[in-house]
Chain A
Amino acid sequence: MSVLDYILAGVAAVFAGPELAFLGLPATPMMILCGFLLGIVVGSTPGLTAPMAMAVSLPLLISAFGFNPDALLPVMGFLIGVMKGGTVGGAVPAILFNTPGTPDAYMTTLDGHPMTTAGQPGKALRIAHFSSASGDTFSDIVLILCAPFLAVLVEQYLDLPEKTALLLLSLAFIAAVIGGSVGKGLISTGLGLLAAYVGTGEDFYPRLSMGTEELSRGFPITTAVLGVLILGEVFKSLEDERHRRGKGSVFKGVSNTGDQRLTRGDLRRIAPFIGRSAVIGTAIGALPGVGSTLAATLGYTVGRARHAKNSPEAPQFGEGAPEGIAATEAANSSVSGANLIPVLSLGIPGNAAAVFLILAAETIGGFNPGPSVFKFTEQPNPELIVAFGLFTAMMIANLLNWTIGGVFMRAMGVMMRIPKQILLPCVLLLTLTAIYVQETRMEAIWMAVVFGFLGYFMRRVGMSPLPFVIAFILGGKLEETARQAFAATGGDAFFLFSSPTAILLMGLMAATIFFSLRRKSA
Chain B
Amino acid sequence: MTSRANLYLGLVSLVLALVVIFLWIPLDTDTGLIEKVRRRVTIGDALAPTIAACFVVLGGGLLVLAERNAADQPGLTSSNLRHVLWVLGLVALALLLMRWAGPLLMEDYRLLRATAPWKWVGFVLGGTILVTGLISAIERRLSLRSLAIGIAVTLPLIVLFDLPFDDLLLPPNGDV
Contact across chains for A461 and B72 when beta carbons are under 8 A apart: no
B25, B34, B59, B157: the one contacting A433 at CB < 8 Å is B157
A517: chain B residues within 8 A (beta carbon): 62, 66-67
- Known contacts A182-B67, A190-B56, A432-B171; can you find 17 more A-B pairs with CB under 8 A? A60-B160, A181-B70, A183-B63, A187-B55, A190-B17, A190-B53, A197-B49, A202-B45, A208-B25, A239-B80, A421-B134, A433-B171, A440-B175, A460-B76, A471-B52, A478-B48, A491-B41
Q: Contacts A428-B130, A437-B161: A185 and B59 contacting too (C-beta < 8 A)? A: yes
Interface residues of B (CB under 8 A from A): 5-6, 9-10, 13, 17, 20, 24-25, 28-31, 34, 40-49, 51-63, 66-67, 70, 72-76, 80, 83-84, 87-88, 91, 95, 98-99, 123, 127, 130-131, 133-135, 137-140, 149-150, 153-154, 157, 160-161, 164-165, 167-172, 174-175
A442 to B43, CA, bound (A): 35
Contact across chains for A433 and B161 when beta carbons are under 8 A apart: yes
Chain A 413-440: CB-based contact to B (< 8 A → 1; otherwise 0): 0000000011011101110110011001
Contact across chains for A486 and B135 when beta carbons are under 8 A apart: no
Q: Contacts A208-B25, A456-B84, A493-B34: A425 and B135 contacting too (C-beta < 8 A)? A: yes
Q: Contacts A203-B45, A208-B28, A460-B76: A193 and B131 contacting too (C-beta < 8 A)? A: no
With a 10 A CB-CB cut-off, give which of A185, A201, A475 has the most chain B CB atoms: A201
The SS class assigned to the A binding surface is: helix
Chain A 456-489: CB-based contact to B (< 8 A → 1; otherwise 0): 1100111000000001000100110011001100
A105 to B6, CA, bound (A): 29
Tell me the smallest distance from the CB of A240 to a CB of chain B, in Å: 10
A211: chain B residues within 8 A (beta carbon): 28
A363: chain B residues within 8 A (beta carbon): none
A133: chain B residues within 8 A (beta carbon): none
The SS class assigned to the B binding surface is: helix
Contact across chains for B55 and A460 when beta carbons are under 8 A apart: no
Contact across chains for B62 and A186 when beta carbons are under 8 A apart: yes
Q: Contacts A203-B45, A421-B135: A429 and B127 contacting too (C-beta < 8 A)? A: yes
Q: Contacts A64-B165, A193-B55: A422 and B174 contacting too (C-beta < 8 A)? A: no
Subset of 26 A-B contacts with CB under 8 Å: A59-B168, A60-B161, A183-B58, A183-B63, A185-B59, A190-B58, A194-B56, A203-B30, A207-B30, A207-B46, A211-B28, A235-B83, A239-B80, A245-B139, A425-B135, A436-B169, A436-B171, A437-B161, A442-B171, A445-B171, A449-B88, A457-B76, A460-B75, A462-B73, A517-B62, A520-B67
A235 to B80, CA, bound (A): 10
Contact across chains for B51 and A201 when beta carbons are under 8 A apart: no
Contact across chains for B130 and A449 when beta carbons are under 8 A apart: no
Query: Can you name the residue of chain A whose Cβ is closest to the Cβ of B48?
Result: A479
Q: Contacts A175-B55, A181-B63, A238-B138: A210 and B28 contacting too (C-beta < 8 A)? A: yes
A180 at the interface (CB under 8 A from B): yes
Chain A 58-85: CB-based contact to B (< 8 A → 1; otherwise 0): 0110011000000000000000000000
Contact across chains for B80 and A428 when beta carbons are under 8 A apart: no
A203, A204, A429, A445: the one contacting B131 at CB < 8 Å is A429
Interface residues of A (CB under 8 A from B): 59-60, 63-64, 171, 175, 180-191, 193-194, 196-197, 201-205, 207-211, 235, 238-239, 241-242, 245, 421-422, 424-426, 428-430, 432-433, 436-437, 440-442, 445-446, 449, 453, 456-457, 460-462, 471, 475, 478-479, 482-483, 486-487, 491, 493, 517, 520-521
A207 to B6, CA, bound (A): 31
Contact across chains for B29 and A201 when beta carbons are under 8 A apart: yes
Q: Contacts A436-B174, A442-B99, A461-B5: A242 and B48 contacting too (C-beta < 8 A)? A: no
A183 to B127, CA, bound (A): 39
Contact across chains for A422 and B59 when beta carbons are under 8 A apart: no
Contact across chains for B55 and A521 when beta carbons are under 8 A apart: no
B20, B45, B134: the one contacting A428 at CB < 8 Å is B134
B29, B40, B57: the one contacting A207 at CB < 8 Å is B29
A475: chain B residues within 8 A (beta carbon): 48, 52
Tell me the smallest distance from the CB of B169 to a CB of chain A, in Å: 5
Tell me the smallest distance from the CB of A9 to a CB of chain B, in Å: 31
Query: Can you name the residue of chain A whose Cβ is closest to the Cβ of B27?
Result: A210
Q: State the 9 A-B residue pairs at the shortest beta-carbon distance, nearest first.
A: A190-B55, A440-B174, A186-B59, A193-B52, A491-B41, A183-B62, A190-B56, A187-B59, A201-B45
Query: Can you name the residue of chain A whose Cβ is closest to the Cβ of B52?
Result: A193
Q: Contacts A424-B134, A437-B161, A493-B34: A453 and B84 contacting too (C-beta < 8 A)? A: yes
A312 to B96, CA, bound (A): 64
B171: chain A residues within 8 A (beta carbon): 432-433, 436, 442, 445
B10, B31, B99, B170: the one contacting A203 at CB < 8 Å is B31
A436 to B98, CA, bound (A): 12
Contact across chains for B52 and A186 when beta carbons are under 8 A apart: no
Q: Contacts A190-B53, A421-B135: A482 and B6 contacting too (C-beta < 8 A)? A: no
